[in-house]
Amino acid sequence: MKVTLFITCLVDQLCPNVGVSVVEVLRRAGCEVVFDERQTCCGQPAFNTGYRNEAQKFAKRFIEIFEESEAEAIVSPSSSCTAMVKHFHELFPDDENWRERAEKIAGKTHEFSGFLINSLKIETVGASFKGRVTWHDACHGLRELNLRDEPRSLLKNVKNAEFVEMPNADVCCGFGGTFSVKFPEISAAILDNKIEAIENSNVSAVVSGDASCLMQIGGRLSRLGSKVKPMHIAEILASQD
């Protein structure tokens, strides 16, 4: 299957290895992978902060670029950015043409772990990783894209890895986009509950499907000098230790 990447600005600039891992896993799964270098950001920060005009500009740009692709699927290593694409149509309340185009693009856009399981019907990708791992549900993956079992079953199939479910894995890490800097104290207090659950799980890595959650969780783990490594699910699946 031909797949075009929606890599997201966070992955592009802050954790490019996540993107490299995505490419590797998709190729291992037999996909032809392409990447359109004109892409930048989906506009989620603007949409979530209330700047709809700005968000609309990003949405139009995104739709135009990805409409040109011949690929059957648009795959992204971020559940919140994928969810944003699914929200694009809301930005065109009075424009049926753009709304239809937005819905068409949304229908082709998939989050990485969901794509592997639900579109490619692949449960195992030949990964191996030595260590105990746990999963943090990114809110948008869980509650907008309904991905609960998909990432877990992929993790359980990683050779040599021991998967443990941590308490309140489905509770928010406190990131919330601009929320994290508008109300940093509240964001950090919510985050500390997550950190406590991670540390008590005695894992070597906490895995998630959104670079933004990993930035939040990883930023605190790093500040506290923790040994737990924040990892994107693509990184674990690409790993062949």
Q: Which of residues 191-220 bind another protein (CB under 8 A)?
A: 191, 193, 215-216, 218-220
Contact flag: residue 93 with another protein (CB under 8 A): yes
Closest CB to another protein among residues 80, 239: 80
99 contacts another protein (rule: CB under 8 A): no
Q: Which helix (H) or strand (E) holds 232?
A: strand 229-232
To the nearest 5 percent, what fractions of the chain are helix, strand and coil? 55, 15, 30
Is residue 136 a contact partner of residue 173, using CB atoms and an 8 Å limit?
yes
Asked whether position 96 contacts another protein by CB under 8 A, the answer is no
- 155/132 Cα distance (integer angstroms): 11
> From the CB of 160, what's the least distance to another protein, in Å?
26
H helix or E strand, kind and range, residue 100: helix 96-108
Q: Identify residues 107-136 at the interface with another protein (CB under 8 A).
A: none
Q: Is 143 in the site for another protein (CB under 8 A)?
A: yes
Closest among 197, 228, 200 to 214, alpha carbons compared: 228
Number of residues near another protein (by CB under 8 A): 72
Which residue among 1, 28, 41, 153 contacts another protein (CB under 8 A)?
41
Contacts of 83 (CB under 8 A, 6+ apart): 140, 141, 144, 145
Q: What is the DSSP letter of 52?
A: H
Task: Specify the DSSP class assigned to residue 166.
Answer: P
37 touching another protein, by CB under 8 A: yes
Nearer to another protein, 95 or 241 (CB): 95
Separation CA 237–CA 112 (nearest Å): 11
**In the complex, minimum distance from the CB of residue 238 to another protein, in angstroms, rounded to a whole number:** 12
Out of 4, 6, 29, 33, which residue is the one contacting another protein (CB under 8 A)?
Answer: 33
Which of these ranges, 104-112, 125-133, 158-166, 168-176, lies near another protein under the rule CB under 8 A?
Answer: 168-176
Q: Is 179 an interacting residue with respect to another protein (CB under 8 A)? A: yes
Q: What tokens does 135 get?
A: 């999963």
Nearer to another protein, 33 or 116 (CB): 33
Q: Which stretch binds another protein (CB under 8 A): 11-19, 66-74, 105-113, 147-155?
A: 11-19
DSSP secondary-structure letter at 240?
B
